[in-house]
Amino acid sequence: MTNKTGLKAVFFDIDGTLIDSNDAHTQAWVQTLARHGHAVDYEQIRRLIGKGSDKVFAELLGIESDSPLAKQITTERTQLLLNSFVPNLKPTPGARLLVERMRSAGLRLVIASSSGEELPALLAQAKVDDLLHTAVSSDELQDSKPDGDIIEVALRKAGVQPAEAVMIGDTPYDIAAAKAAGVRGIALRCGGYWDDAAFSDAAAIYDDPGTLLHHWADSPLAS
């Protein structure tokens, strides 16, 4: 199968989009911060999942992500996530089937996620690690989501123009990052937490990857 539209590349968020991991990230943040004497409510963290950790540290603790405390928290949080949460996570419905369809259509597939060291494990647990072409790492960015840097790097890596790409994500931060870089965003509800009003800038909204695959013919993927 080949892609006959003007679409050449698809950028994916991972957490909440291809794997049901948003609650795990939230719990890992809450537990790690508590170990360091910061009692942060679950909801305070949950609404920030999808932003880069630099944004989370700034909003919650008022510190830079490269400070000694932030680095220690990041190390501990990552290990907690990998050891206690990732092995039990499940792919979102239809995740692999959608990515397989995109690959067979000749699309360039790039992970544009705020996840860091845990990304390879998340991709493997989502059962899509063998299908994707490349990923944007956090050390390639000056500003994380919802700023558009991550999408601009993804565009360069894919070798495409903004009109030739779409971003698929489950948070308003994904859609905002895409919009900032002139790329259309497709929102998925499977990440939970956000209602459709939060995705007002998205080109389309679907329940999960499987639903998007089912509606491929009338989605932004085919337009």
Residue-wise pLDDT tens digits, 164-196: 999 999 999 999 999 999 999 999 999 999 999
- Fold of domain 22-87: DNA polymerase; domain 1 (1.10.150)
- Fold of domain 9-21+90-218: Rossmann fold (3.40.50)
| The pair of three-digit structure tokens given for residue 206, joined into one six-digit string | 């679907």
Q: Is the pLDDT at 1 greater than 60, yes or no?
A: no
Q: Is the pLDDT at 99 greater than 60, yes or no?
A: yes
Q: Is the pLDDT at 41 greater than 80, yes or no?
A: yes
Nearest Cα residue to 156 out of 146, 147, 165: 165
The answer to whether the CB of 166 falls within 8 A of the CB of 202 is no
Q: Is the pLDDT at 58 greater than 70, yes or no?
A: yes
- Residue ranges, CATH 3.40.50.1000, the chain: 9-21+90-218
Q: If you average pLDDT over every residue of the chain, what do you get? A: 93
Q: How confident is the model at residue 21 (pLDDT cuts 50, 70, 90)?
A: very high
One-letter amino acid at 102 equals M
The answer to whether the CB of 110 falls within 8 A of the CB of 135 is yes
- Residue ranges, CATH 1.10.150, the chain: 22-87
